[in-house]
Amino acid sequence: MEQFVIKGEIRKDLGKNACRRLRKEGKLPGILYGNNMENIPIIVDKKDIQRILKSETGENTIFKITLDSQTYDVIIKDLQRDPVFYEPLHVDLYHIAMDKPIEVTVAIALKGDAVGVKSEGGFLDFVTREIDIRCLPKDIPEYIEVDISDLHVNQALKVEDIKVPEGIEILEDPEVVIVHVLPPEEEEKVEEEEEKEETLFAEEPEQPEVIGKEKPSEEEEEEEKEEE
- Tens of pLDDT along 37-74? 999 999 999 999 999 999 988 889 999 999 988 999 99
pTM of the model: 0.73
Would you say residue 224 has pLDDT above 50?
A: no
* pLDDT band at residue 3 under the 50/70/90 scheme: confident
Domain 5-97+207-227, CATH number (from 3.90.1200.10, 3.40.50.1820, 2.40.240.10, 2.160.10.10)? 2.40.240.10
pLDDT above 90 as % of the chain: 64
Q: How many whole angstroms separate alpha carbon 138 and alpha carbon 161? A: 24
**Residue predicted with more confidence, 4 or 198:** 4
CATH topology for 103-182 is RNA Polymerase Alpha Subunit; Chain A, domain 2 (2.170.120)
- pLDDT for 91-108, tens place per residue? 999 999 999 999 999 999
- pLDDT for 173-189, tens place per residue? 999 999 999 998 766 66
Distance of CA 186 to the CA centre of its chain: 31
Domain boundaries, the chain: 5-97+207-227, 103-182
Question: Pairing between strand 88-95 and 27-34?
Answer: parallel
